[in-house]
Amino acid sequence: MEKVKAEVVTHYRSELVEYLRANGSTFAYGDTGIRLAKEFGFCYGVERAIDLAYAARRHFPREQPVYILGEIIHNPHVNEQIRDMGVTFLSGSHKAADIEDLGKGDPVVIPAFGTEVKVNEMLKARGCTVIDATCGDVMSVWKRVRQNAREQVTSIIHGKAWHEETKATSSQAKAYENGHYLVVFDLDETDLVCRYITRGGDREAFLKKFEGATSDGFDPDKHLGAIGLANQTTMLRGETEEVQRRLRAAMVEKHGEDAIAGHFRYFDTICGATQDRQDALRDLLSRPMDLLLVVGGYNSSNTSHLAEMGEGKLPTYFIKDASEIESAERLNHFLQHKQEMVIAENWLPLEGKLTVGITAGASCPNNLIEEVILHTYELRGAPASEVLGSIRAESAADMAQ
C-alpha cells in the first residue's frame, strides 16, 4: 500500500487544485474568478479502494490475472486506469471475464460499494483470494441491518434499489432467516409506505409498486409492524432525515408514542465525507456566483445529489470531465433527475466579470477538476499556460517572503 500511494498521487494530483486548497479555495485571473467548495473530490474510502486495487496488481506476479467485481468507484477515468494496469473486470462496460472463470487462489478486488452476500459466498466457494475494498461507512450500515434482521425488524433502506451499494446492503438484511427489507427511493415512495402503515391498502398494488425493491417473501401486512431505517450512504442527509421523520410519525399514529421504541428504530448512517461535501456546497451556494460546474461520474450517487443541490440555486452543469465542454456555445451535461444527457447552449458568457463555482463528487480525481477549470479559462481567453504561470509566480513570491 505504501509503495503505490505515490503512484496514485502522481496519476491524479493537480497543481492548480492544491494551490486553491492552500489559498482559501478562491482564485481569479483576468475577469474570471473561481470558487471551489472547501470539501470535494476523493474521500478516504475512495482513496483506500484505489490504493488497494493498485496494490493488488503490484503484489501478484504480472502473469497472474487480478480481477475486480466491477467499477472500483463511479468514475470512468479511474476505472479505465485500473483496467489499463491489467486488472480484469467481471462486470460492467469493461467486463472481460465471469466469476465462473475464477479458480482457487485467484485474487479478486471487491469495490468500495461492497458486494452482495451471495457473491461473497461464490468467491469463497471457488477459493479466491479476496481483497476487500468495501468502504467502512458502508460496512457500518451493514451492521445495523444485520442487527435488524436478527431481531426480526424490517430494514427500510433509503436509497436506489439498482445501486451496487444498496444491493449489497439489502443482501445483508437477509442475513437471518426472517430478515426482510424494503427500499424507498424518495419522499413520494416514503409516503406510500406511511399510508400503508396507518391505513392499510391494496397489498398486490403495493408489491407491484415496489417490485425489485423488496426481499423475497416480503409482505406489507406482516413486515411493516417493526421497522428500522437505514440508508445508502451517499443520499442527501436532509431527505433521509425527512424519510425518518415521516416513517416515525406513521408508526406513532399506528402504535402510539409510548410503544414507538418497539416498532421503530433509526441510526444516522450518512457517510461523513458525503455530508462534508454537501455542507461545503451549501456554504459555497451562499456566496455570489454566476454558474456552478459539478464534476464527476454520471452514475455517482453522491455527485448527482451535489448537482441537485445546485440546480435549485443557479445555472448548474453536471459534467464528467472537460471533454463535455465543446465551446462557450455548447456544453454537454447530465440531468440527473431525468437521467439523460442534454446540451446547454450559450452557457458561458465571454465578456465581463464572471465567477464560476466548482465542486466534485467523492470519486472525482483532482486532475479532472483542474482540466475543467483550465478549459473554462481558455474559452474566456486565458491560455492554461498563463493561468498556471500566475499561480507559480505567486507561490514563488510567497516562498520568498
Q: Pick the catalytic residue: 165, 324, 370, 371?
A: 165
- How many angstroms separate the CA atoms of 73 and 49, rounded? 8
Task: Note whether 43 and 82 are within 8 A (CB).
Answer: no
155 closest CA partner among 168, 163, 2: 168
Helix (H, G, I), strand (E, B) or coil at 158: strand
Residues paired with residue 229 on neighbouring β-strands, in sequence order: 156, 266
- How many angstroms separate the CA atoms of 35 and 189, rounded? 36
Could you give the angle at the alpha carbon of 213 between the alpha carbons of 208 and 217, nearest 5°?
75
Residue 189 annotated in active site: no
Q: Which residues, in sequence order, are CB contacts of 71 under 8 Å at separation 6+?
A: 79, 89, 92, 111, 164, 299
Task: Note whether 112 and 137 are within 8 A (CB).
Answer: no
- How many angstroms separate the CA atoms of 37 and 390, rounded? 21
Residues paired with residue 266 on neighbouring β-strands, in sequence order: 229
HSE (CB half, 13 Å, CA atoms) of 43?
24
Helix (H) or strand (E) holding 249: helix 237-255
C-alpha cell at 201: 391498502
Query: Which positions are annotated as active-site residues?
Result: 165
